[in-house]
């Protein structure tokens, strides 16, 4: 996925990315698409391309992580395919929409991640070799095959968990085929009173299902304000956009 990159010691420009929408796919789809094996994590040197200290895309600046270790994030995944098939990825490899790969904005290239569709529990292991997606609210772009195996081709997006895998590490299959309620987290507080104030604000602005979810984190109580459950990535996007109009700009996906 081509991007405009600014590097500390200079600048190198290429055409800006095009937002990929689900599109008709070639009739030459492999008949054994769902049997294509997941990526197998292995130690690889960082690519000479795609790993600047930072880069700019569509008016935003992104800083590349020095390591993928410990990375876990939940949010919305999308997929990209026909418009980019065989086009050079950010690390210079031709994009293969039928391979088990993904694009991420800040993880080092290449690295490996496990992606879980939180709506149905299906999981895949992918090699990250590209940059994107650059549409607001998206955390990862998947290959066509990866999206098919996660059963998200029809909708185009899905609520997912992305977890980095260190080569030699056993993938976490605890979420396989397990569906958990999903929520939009509007805020997180050390004070129950502050959480209650936000719940009152949300309930008075059309979110009667807003509630406080409390838990212990490092021995201290944390009060998270949740809206939901949320049934789809589309609904998640709608709620996040509405929360921004209330001045809440850091909403994220959460689950029990």
Dump pLDDT digits (tens) for 46-90. 999 999 999 999 999 999 999 999 999 999 999 998 889 889 999
Distances (CA, A) of 27 to 31, 34, 82: 10, 16, 11
Scanning the structure block, which residue is given the tokens 């904005």?
A: 105
Instruction: State the Cα–Cα distance between residues 224 and 140, nearest whole angstrom.
Output: 25
Dump pLDDT digits (tens) for 130-144. 999 999 889 999 999
Residue spans of beta strands (DSSP E) within 81-167? 101-103, 111-117, 123-130, 138-142, 157-165
Confidence of residue 241 (pLDDT cuts 50, 70, 90): very high
Domains and CATH numbers, the chain: 5-165 (2.40.40.10), 182-255 (3.30.70.1070)
Q: What is the mean pLDDT of the chain?
A: 87
Q: What percent of the chain has pLDDT over 90?
A: 73
| Six token digits for residue 18 | 């095009």
Burial group, residue 101, by CB count within 10 angstroms (0-12, 13-18, 19+):
buried
> Which stretch of 24-33, 109-118, 142-151, 244-253 has the lowest confidence by average pLDDT?
24-33
Classified as helix, coil or strand, 86 is coil
Query: Where is pLDDT greater, at 6 or 48?
Result: 48
Instruction: State the Cα–Cα distance between residues 142 and 133, nearest whole angstrom.
Output: 9
Query: Where is pLDDT greater, at 154 or 29?
Result: 154
What confidence score (pLDDT) does residue 174 get? 67
Q: Is the pLDDT of residue 10 over 60?
A: no
Reported as half-sphere exposure (CB side, CA atoms, 13 A), residue 173 has a value of 1
Confidence of residue 179 (pLDDT cuts 50, 70, 90): confident
Classified as helix, coil or strand, 238 is helix
């Amino acid at each position: 996925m081509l991007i405009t990159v600014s590097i500390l010691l200079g600048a190198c420009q290429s055409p800006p990315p095009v937002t990929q929408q689900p599109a008709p796919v070639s009739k030459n789809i492999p008949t054994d698409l769902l049997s294509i094996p997941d990526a197998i994590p292995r130690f690889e040197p960082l690519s000479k391309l795609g790993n600047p200290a930072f880069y700019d895309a569509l008016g935003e600046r992104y800083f590349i992580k020095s390591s993928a270790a410990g990375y876990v994030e939940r949010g919305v995944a999308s997929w990209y395919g026909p418009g980019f098939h065989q086009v050079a990825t950010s690390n210079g490899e031709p994009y293969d929409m039928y391979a088990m790969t993904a694009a991420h904005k800040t993880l080092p290239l290449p690295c490996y991640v496990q992606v879980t569709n939180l709506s149905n529990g299906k999981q895949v292991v992918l090699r990250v070799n590209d940059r994107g997606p650059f549409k607001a609210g998206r955390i990862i772009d998947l290959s066509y095959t990866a999206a098919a195996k996660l059963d998200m081709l029809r909708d185009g997006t899905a609520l997912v968990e992305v977890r980095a895998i260190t080569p030699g590490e056993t993938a976490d299959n605890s979420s396989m085929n397990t569906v958990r309620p999903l929520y939009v987290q509007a805020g997180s507080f050390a004070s129950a009173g502050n959480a209650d104030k936000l719940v009152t604000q949300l309930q008075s602005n059309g979110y009667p299902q807003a509630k406080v979810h409390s838990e212990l984190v490092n021995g201290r109580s944390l009060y998270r304000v949740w809206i939901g459950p949320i049934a789809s990535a589309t609904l998640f996007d709608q709620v996040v956009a509405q929360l921004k109009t209330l001045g809440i700009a850091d909403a994220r996906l959460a689950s029990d």
